[in-house]
Amino acid sequence: MRIAILAWGSLVWNCGDLAIETAFEPNGPLLPIEFSRVSGNGRLTLVIDEESGASCRTCVAVSALPSLKTAIENLRVREGMPSVKGVGFIDRLSGQRSAKAIDRHPHAVEAIHAWATTNRYDAAIWTALGSNFSDRAGEPFSVEAAIRYLAAQDKATLDKALTYIRRAPAEVQTPVRAAVNMRWPEG
């Protein structure tokens, strides 16, 4: 089974124990991506965000694992998720699709399916976490709210957040990334 692993954030530069045959390359589908999730350590991280995301080219690697089930579990472990429900998937052979991913970003699931078909992948998997900005930051997500959130962090958290944003693949150009570069230019 030929399984594509899609990525747009830290997975690209830090695979950890992810079993891949090929390095991540920027030839995945265009998806609406934004720094609209607050991670456990306070960073703003990238997620598929159909409301606020900018259309960005994603990266893809080929899984080294033989089955979709083991590839999903491998990605879950790498991402530190308590459940496989946070892993989105499409299986072109069986026609199955992740219900949670469809709930969080249905248009992206369709785009991924079309891309996988065109590129002759049997399946595709990705981190399908949603934006939690409103819950964690206490206000609805916007570029201005993201900058306010970052500005309110202590120096260590801000430094980690800026490092993550700056290490994102060059193809991931979002309004938050542009605003961060204006507010905290690299020196």
Contact 65, 3 (CB under 8 A): yes
Distance CA 86, CA 119 (A): 24
> pLDDT-derived band of residue 186, with 50, 70 and 90 as boundaries?
confident
What single letter denotes the amino acid at residue 47? Answer: V
Query: What's the full length of the chain, in residues?
Result: 187
What single-letter DSSP state applies at residue 62? E
What single letter denotes the amino acid at residue 132? Answer: N
- Residues 6 or more apart in contact with residue 144 via CB below 8 angstroms: 179
* 187 pLDDT above the threshold of 70: no
Distance CA 105, CA 58 (A): 15
What is the predicted pLDDT for the residue at 40?
Answer: 87
> Phi/psi at 91 (nearest 5 deg)?
-120, 105
Q: What is the rounded average pLDDT for all residues in the chain?
A: 96
DSSP string computed for 134-186: HHHHSS---HHHHHHHHHTS-HHHHHHHHHHHHHS-TT---HHHHHHHHHS--
Mean pLDDT, residues 82-89 taken together: 94
| pTM score | 0.95
142 burial (CB, 10 Å; 0-12 / 13-18 / 19+) is: middle
What is the predicted pLDDT for the residue at 34?
Answer: 98
> pLDDT-derived band of residue 7, with 50, 70 and 90 as boundaries?
very high
- CA-based nearest residue to 19, from 81, 75, 59, 68: 75
> pLDDT digits over 15-71, tens only?
999 999 999 999 999 999 999 999 989 999 999 999 999 999 999 999 999 999 999
> pLDDT digits over 104-147, tens only?
999 999 999 999 999 999 999 999 999 999 999 999 999 999 99
